[in-house]
Amino acid sequence: GQQVMQIPQYQHVQEGEDFTTYCNSSTTLSNIQWYKQRPGGHPVFLIQLVKSGEVKKQKRLTFQFGEAKKNSSLHITATQTTDVGTYFCAVKGGTYKYIFGTGTRLKVLA
Amino acid sequence: SAVISQKPSRDICQRGTSLTIQCQVDSQVTMMFWYRQQPGQSLTLIATANQGSEATYESGFVIDKFPISRPNLTFSTLTVSNMSPEDSSIYLCSVVEGRDYGYTFGSGTRLTVV
C-alpha cells in the first residue's frame, strides 16, 4: 500500500531554535493534511494544503506543499515548549480516507 | 467542529476476552473511521464505518476480529475480539465533516492485554 515517509523521525531542539519536518510521497498527491499529537493526547488537525506550491502560515508554523505535489514541509519558527509532540502528515487514500505518515517526534529543551 | 466522546479511556484485559469501544458524536456524520496506534507508532486505519452498511476493512484487519457497529449517524462501536497481547494499542475513532475538513479524533482508548 501507499507509504508516506517523514523525516526526521525524532528531533530535539533548544527552545527558540527552528524546526522543520518533511513529508515525502512516491505518488502525486491531491492534497495533504498535517496533525499534531501531544504526548498522551490524540491527533489534532492543523491544516490542509491543496494547491501546488501552496504556503500557509499559522502564527509560528509555516506549511508548504511542493511544486510537484509529492512532498510537504512544516516549519516552526522559534520553538516553544508548547510545540512538543509528534507531527504527522496525512495523505488521501480514498474519498475521505487518509493514510498517516510515520511522524516526527519533537522535543523542545528549555 | 464535531465533539467525540470515546470510552473507555483505558482498560486492562485478559487475553481471550473481548472489549467494546464506543464513540458518540455530538452531530450527525456520514463516515466514521477507526484507527489503531501502537506505542510510539503512526496511525493505521482499521476500517471505515458508514451508517446502514457493513464496515469496510483495510488490509490486515478482518470483521471477525474487529466487528464494528454503526446503528445511526452519531454512534459507532468497535469490538476487539479474542484479544492477545499484540492487540495492546491505542484505538481511536474519528470523523470528517466534509472534503475540506480534517479528521476530528476521539480521545482514544488505551488497551493493554495481559
Cβ contact, residue pair B42, A46, below 8 Å: no
With the C-alpha atoms ordered B31, B36, B42, B45, is the resulting torsion angle positive or negative?
A: negative
CB contact under 8 A, A42 and B108: yes
> Any residues with CB less than 8 A from the CB of A95 and at least 6 apart, and which?
none
Compute the CA torsion angle B79, B83, B87, B88 (nearest 10 deg). Answer: 100
B43 touching A, CB under 8 A?
Answer: yes
Q: Is the pLDDT of residue A1 over 70?
A: no
More confident residue, B99 or B36: B36
At A74-86, the pLDDT tens digits run 999 999 999 999 9
User: Over the stretch B72-105, which tens digit does the pLDDT of each residue have?
Assistant: 999 999 999 999 999 999 999 999 887 778 999 9
Of A33, A43, A103, the CB nearest to B105: A43
B31·A96 Cβ contact <8 A: yes
B86: phi then psi, degrees, rounded to nearest 5: -65, -15
CB-based contact A48 B48, cutoff 8 Å: no
CB contact under 8 A, A42 and B99: no
How much of chain A is in helix, strand and coil states, percent to nearest 5? 5, 55, 45
What average pLDDT does the structure give for chain B?
94
In the block, cell 516526527 appears at: A104
Is B2 an 8 Å CB contact of chain A?
no
Q: Where are the alpha helices (DSSP H) in B1-114?
A: none
% of chain A at pLDDT higher than 90: 89
B96 contacts in chain A (CB < 8 Å): 96
Report the distance separating Cα A47 and Cα B109, nearest Å.
25
SS3 content of chain B, % helix, strand, coil (to 5): 5, 50, 45
Task: Specify whether the CB–CB gap between A56 and A32 falls below 8 A.
Answer: no
Nearest CA in chain B to A100: B43
